[in-house]
Amino acid sequence: MKNILISSITAISIASGAAYKLPEQSLKGTALSAANVASCNGADCAYYNPANISFLDANSQYFEGGLTFIHLPKVSYKGEQRLISGSVDATAKTLTEDVAIPYLHYVSKAYGNLRYSINLTVPAGLSKRWNSPVEKLYAQEFTLKTIMINPSVAYKINSNLSLALGANIVYSEGKVYSDGKDVGIPLKREMEGDSIDYGYNLAASWHLDNGLKLAATYRSKVKLSEEGKANLYFGGVGKKYDASVNIYIPAALTLAVSKDIKNWTLEFVYERTFWSSYKTLDFNYKENLPATLQSFDTPIDKNWKDTNTFRVGAQYRYNKKLTLMAGYSYDQSPIPQKYLSYELPDSNAHIFSAGFKYQQNKNLSWGIAVLYDYKTKRSVDNNANGLKGKFTKGGAILITSGFDYKF
């Protein structure tokens, strides 16, 4: 049975944009702050740029597997919340979150000018929990999990140019709990759900004779069609309602350029995520809700904006065995100040990363990478959600360990 998801799924992003994307999907992806599009040269091209698989050794197959440990520190809110009865102090902190997620990438050998790849990743996720009375009214728990299978096929036009086409198959599940009893509001909701949805991706790579590499990738907008049961309560009395909602994952465009200079590989990546298509969140019920539950049936304005992300990455081949890597990204938040809320208190981010890769033998390599996501402070004073205060701290720490095998 599918249960309807409310706000936890509203910011889902399979490709990019701040919100709760997870673009770090390999050892190099973490070490380079995802500046791994034009220069990728292993199995993780299956995710970052499948057109580049055409330029790998034609007689070899490539595999990469690994695990990323994610620590989400507490987000602090200092300020007020406007309720019907008036403004109340809402100063509080979220709980910390710790999770480990796997990734797998595979690239086949070449079949003439054709080659295929497939990857299994967790491209997006969110977990925010508040135990404080005011925040529980809106977001006691918002959890989102996703898994994506992404098969792609690349065609080598000539020795310099390759094109690729793929499918994005996404399974998502989420949980939304809220409870207003601690602030004297007898509203409660308990919702869980899942969905399988589809999109596509395109990629192109152009390798110039002077060592310059150009790349472009595009992931389509995806329609998430959630439907099921919504458990809504008033004064301790609950009822299940048939409900549905359509949510669109925004399209995203990535442009990248890389250059090999002696022992160095440098890359710059620009990403544009088209969040502006996300204007409202509107739930539909097969029967009319009573007046006491009308707040669950009111369309929620979002009016998110398109965002830019800028990434730079550097690889240094210290010797034949050891490669050192570092990266930096500036990631914009798509959420306007006037629509900021507790389930996703997002802000612009500065991302720093570093790692290494060690070539154990001609077939096997392994490494470790660390990434720090620093969220800027964000003041909020909006009528849409009734907040007046400041969000601080938060961000994320990622540690990825992985290995590559060529056979």
Q: How far apart are CA 311 and CA 331, in angstroms?
A: 9
pLDDT of residue 12: 34
Q: How far apart are CA 325 and CA 10, in angstroms?
A: 34
Residue 219 located in a structural domain:
yes
Residue 207 belongs to some domain of the structure: yes
Per-residue model confidence (pLDDT) at position 123: 80
How far apart are alpha carbons 84 and 230 in whole angstroms? 25
pLDDT of residue 7: 35
Identify the residue whose tokens are 């110039």: 208
Structural domain that includes position 401: 7-406
| CATH code: domain of residue 382 | 2.40.160.60
Measured in degrees and rounded to the nearest 5, phi and psi for residue 314 equal -135, 130
> Quick count: other Cβ atoms within 10 Å of Cβ 230?
26
pLDDT value, residue 19: 55
Please check whether residue 372 is in contact with residue 334, taking contact to mean a CB–CB distance below 8 angstroms.
no
Number of domains in the chain: 1
Helices vs. strands in the chain: H and E counts, helices first: 3, 25
DSSP assignment of 16-46, as one string? -STTTB----SHHHHHTTT--SSS--STTHH
Question: Would 357 be classed as within a structural domain?
Answer: yes
In a domain, 148, yes or no: yes
Q: Would 131 be classed as within a structural domain?
A: yes
The DSSP result for 284-338, as a single string, is EESSPPPGGGGGGGS-EE-----EEEEEEEEEEE-SSSEEEEEEEEEE-----GG
Query: Which residues have a Cβ under 8 Å from the Cβ of 165 and sit 6 or more positions away?
Result: 152, 153, 200, 201, 202, 203
User: What's the pTM value of the predicted model, to 2 decimals?
Assistant: 0.90
CA-closest candidate to residue 354, choices 396, 400, 404, 309:
400
Closest CA to 253 of 276, 274, 278, 272: 272
| Cβ 15 vs Cβ 219: under 8 Å | yes
pLDDT in single tens digits along all 407 residues of the chain: 344 333 333 333 333 335 566 888 999 999 999 999 999 999 999 999 999 999 999 999 999 999 999 999 999 999 999 988 889 999 999 999 899 999 999 999 999 999 999 999 988 777 789 999 999 988 888 887 888 999 999 999 999 999 999 999 988 877 788 899 899 899 988 887 788 999 999 999 999 988 899 999 999 987 777 777 888 899 888 888 887 777 777 889 999 999 999 999 999 999 998 988 878 877 778 888 888 888 888 887 888 899 999 999 999 999 999 999 999 999 999 989 888 888 888 899 999 999 999 999 999 999 999 999 999 999 999 888 889 999 999 899 999 999 999 99
d(CA 404, CA 259): 23
Q: Is residue 1 part of a domain?
A: no
Q: Is 127 helix (H, G, I), strand (E, B) or coil?
A: strand
Q: How far apart are CA 259 and CA 40, in angstroms?
A: 12
